[in-house]
Amino acid sequence: MVIKGIPGSPGIAMAKAYVLEQEEYCIFRRTISPHDVKKEVARLRGAIMKVKEEIAETRERLIHRIGKKHAQLFDAYLLILEDRALREETEERIVKTQVNAEFALQETIDRIVKTFSLLKDDYLKDRVRDIIDIGHKIFNYLLGRPRFTLGDLAEEAVIVAHNITPADTRLLKNKLVKGFITDLGGPTSHTAIFARSLEIPAIVGLKKATKMIKTGDFIILDGDQGVIVVGPDDVTIENYHRQQRIIVQEQQKLEHLKDLPAVTLDSRKMDIAANIEVPEEVQSVLAHGAQGIGLFRTEYLFMNREDLPGEEEQFEIYRRVAEQILPYSMIIRTLDLGADKLGVDLGIEEERNPIMGLRAIRLCLKYRDVFKAQLRAILRASVTGNIKIMYPLVTGVDEFRQANAFFDEVKSELKNQNIPFNANIETGVMIEVPSAAISADLLAREADFLSIGTNDLIQYTLAVDRINENVITLYDPLNISILRLLRTIVEAGHAEGKWVGMCGEMAADPFFLRILVGLGLDELSMSAISIPRIKQLIRSTSYQDARAMVEEILKATERDDLLKILKKRELEY
């Protein structure tokens, strides 16, 4: 049987399936007789005790495996379980209203959840999820079906679940978990992003996977194609084994490059950094030999939720990543989203063309509270690591100045409050709108660095929507106008003594690498997985030759000429 879904994270996994039960309960109210009250209270206490034991055990095991810091979630769980309010209130309900333990517990949890959701503090609001999780665990024991925890996994498995919540994903950092499959979710869902950051293959949006796959079924998960083969025949298994071997061999070949610098044959040094979306990716970033984070996309913090992340929550995340990446630096890009992707309603009517609408720096300059929380969090974190900041979608100097003026306001506010921050934090600008590219010389005077976002720059310059199949072939990084723009930007930056980087997908494509070297880019930032390959290419490229090649191709007038020159040069190589 073959099932198709949405590719969530690339790679191939072959293992037995483990289907996580859907956590749905039907709690009935049952009136109990007065002499059963004691028995019901004892049942509740017994269940709480069991969950306590289970959690304490998982906690121990996790401390062992991933360190004390990460086991903090379980400390919170234990505190809640041991809490008087939860137990006493539920017992009181059982005694006073003579109902079964399940119903009494549900009522207590409902009340607690309601009170918590009224709180202003985002972090505390998030505790609601912990309380619900705890409730589920107690219900499981009360209903006589202890839930499997991933810490108990005895052999390699592909996890099949209806949905994987952020709380679950912490448990999924288990070496025995070879892949995820979920009924819900799309390519940007939490599951997909998390799986990519852990480099575990995943397929999402399968709708009915949990109904079609049974625990123990042997399955092949092809994360590149978004295909699951349940009970494959020997030939299929052998084919996938071969593919897997090739991937592993490629990776091993590149492994030794990890600690080597990215220098050209003629000793020009480049910085190779990584793009990240979630804090969990830092380990993979370091493992692939990145020299820092060239783009921390903060959008993910704002998506798939019904509120905005507060200053504290953001601060904690920025601080943690900055610390982990030391001695390297991290560039945080401020919010690059449109209002449609935010959980809260800002009262903006639906936009007909959101790509050119109120988003990114425009949104931030209009809704200053949102911007301020992020800027404060970044500044506060700036004392713990080497943090730089850059603004997305800036169209020119005026906008850059507006953003900086506000940034200065936020800085003085912190100063007045005696909150420490790095007053010399480097502030850069993303060059991704043609107008910014054209005025790159003006921007370079005021910014500390320029980082080219090729995805949008190409899309806006060539007026091509890169997810529209009718015009996708027109999306061309080798378009002569694009190459000329790139040269303009790099030269503008260098004329002012500023470094120029690139953080779009073009930076990770081996095909363009020699052009980028020849253009004189100082930094390339890409997904961690691409780093070893790009590093290898840089180490086998001569900067002088690449420069000469770029000179030559920039004289071309049409694409065919350009390709001919490129081909000839590649052959000479």
Partner 1 sequence: MIDKSYSLKNSLGMHVRPAGMLVELLSRYKSEVKIVYKSEEVDARSVLAILQLGAGRGEELLFVISGEDEQDVISGLDDLILKRTFDEI
Catalytic residue list: 190, 503
Give the angle subtended at the CA of 354 by the CAs of 351 and 360, to the nearest 5°: 120
Cβ contacts of residue 477 below 8 Å, gap of 6+?
454, 458, 506, 509, 512
Which residue of 50, 63, 116, 305 would you call a contact of partner 1, by CB under 8 A? 116
CB closer to partner 1 out of 31 and 115: 115
Which residue of 31, 92, 123, 216 would you call a contact of partner 1, by CB under 8 A? 123
Q: Which stretch binds partner 1 (CB under 8 A): 82-90, 333-341, 370-378, 486-494?
A: 82-90
In terms of Cβ atoms closer than 10 Å to its own Cβ (0-12, 13-18, 19+), residue 188 is: middle
**Cα–Cα distance list, 178 to 114, 200, 249 (Å):** 38, 6, 19
Which residue of 42, 49, 124, 246 would you call a contact of partner 1, by CB under 8 A? 124
Amino acid, res. 428:
G
Q: Is 220 in the site for partner 1 (CB under 8 A)?
A: no
- CA gyration radius for the chain? 27
Q: Is 75 in the site for partner 1 (CB under 8 A)?
A: yes
Give the angle subtended at the CA of 1 by the CAs of 210 and 19, to the nearest 5°: 20
CB closer to partner 1 out of 121 and 266: 121
CB closer to partner 1 out of 66 and 124: 124
Q: In 3D, which of 517, 512, 487 has the Cα closest to residue 264? A: 517
Q: Say if CB 299 and CB 188 are below 8 A apart.
A: no
Which residue of 19, 41, 112, 273 would you call a contact of partner 1, by CB under 8 A? 112
| CA dist., res. 450 & res. 427, Å (int) | 9
Q: Is 435 in the site for partner 1 (CB under 8 A)?
A: no
Q: Is 83 in the site for partner 1 (CB under 8 A)?
A: yes
Helix (H), strand (E) at residue 523: strand 523-527
- Dig out the tokens for 263 from the structure: 């220098």
Q: Is 420 in the site for partner 1 (CB under 8 A)?
A: no
- Dig out the tokens for 43 from the structure: 């049942």
Q: Is 117 in the site for partner 1 (CB under 8 A)?
A: no
CB closer to partner 1 out of 74 and 240: 74
Residues 167-186 that bind partner 1 (CB under 8 A): none
Residues 446-465 that bind partner 1 (CB under 8 A): none
| CA dist., res. 394 & res. 451, Å (int) | 11
Q: Is 86 in the site for partner 1 (CB under 8 A)?
A: yes
Q: Is 85 in the site for partner 1 (CB under 8 A)?
A: yes
Q: How far is the CB of 117 from partner 1 (least distance, A)?
A: 11
- Dig out the tokens for 453 from the structure: 């976002």
Q: Is 131 in the site for partner 1 (CB under 8 A)?
A: yes
What DSSP string runs through 199-242?
A: T--EEE--SSHHHH--TT-EEEEETTTTEEEES--HHHHHHHHH
Site string for partner 1, 27-66 (x = CB under 8 A): ----------------------------------------
Report the b/e string of 312-341 with b at 16+ CB within 10 A.
ebbbbbbbbbbebbeebbbbbbbbbbbbee
CB closer to partner 1 out of 108 and 174: 108
Helix (H), strand (E) at residue 118: none
Sheet arrangement for strand 2-4: 2-4, 227-230, 218-222, 12-19, 157-161, 177-182, 202-204, 6-9
Which residue of 6, 63, 76, 365 would you call a contact of partner 1, by CB under 8 A? 76
CB closer to partner 1 out of 119 and 143: 119
CB closer to partner 1 out of 21 and 75: 75
Q: Which stretch binds partner 1 (CB under 8 A): 110-118, 170-178, 203-211, 227-235?
A: 110-118
Q: Which stretch binds partner 1 (CB under 8 A): 56-64, 77-85, 219-227, 445-453?
A: 77-85
Q: Is 120 in the site for partner 1 (CB under 8 A)?
A: yes
Q: Which stretch binds partner 1 (CB under 8 A): 80-88, 275-283, 338-346, 402-410?
A: 80-88
User: What's the sign of the alpha-carbon dihedral 85, 91, 96, 99?
Assistant: positive
Q: Is 122 in the site for partner 1 (CB under 8 A)?
A: no
CB closer to partner 1 out of 160 and 317: 317
| CA dist., res. 370 & res. 309, Å (int) | 9
Q: Is 92 in the site for partner 1 (CB under 8 A)?
A: no
Residues 298-327 that bind partner 1 (CB under 8 A): 312
Residues contacting partner 1: total by CB under 8 A? 20
| CA dist., res. 508 & res. 318, Å (int) | 25
The footprint of partner 1 (CB under 8 A) covers 75-76, 79-80, 82-86, 112, 115-116, 119-121, 123-124, 127, 131, 312
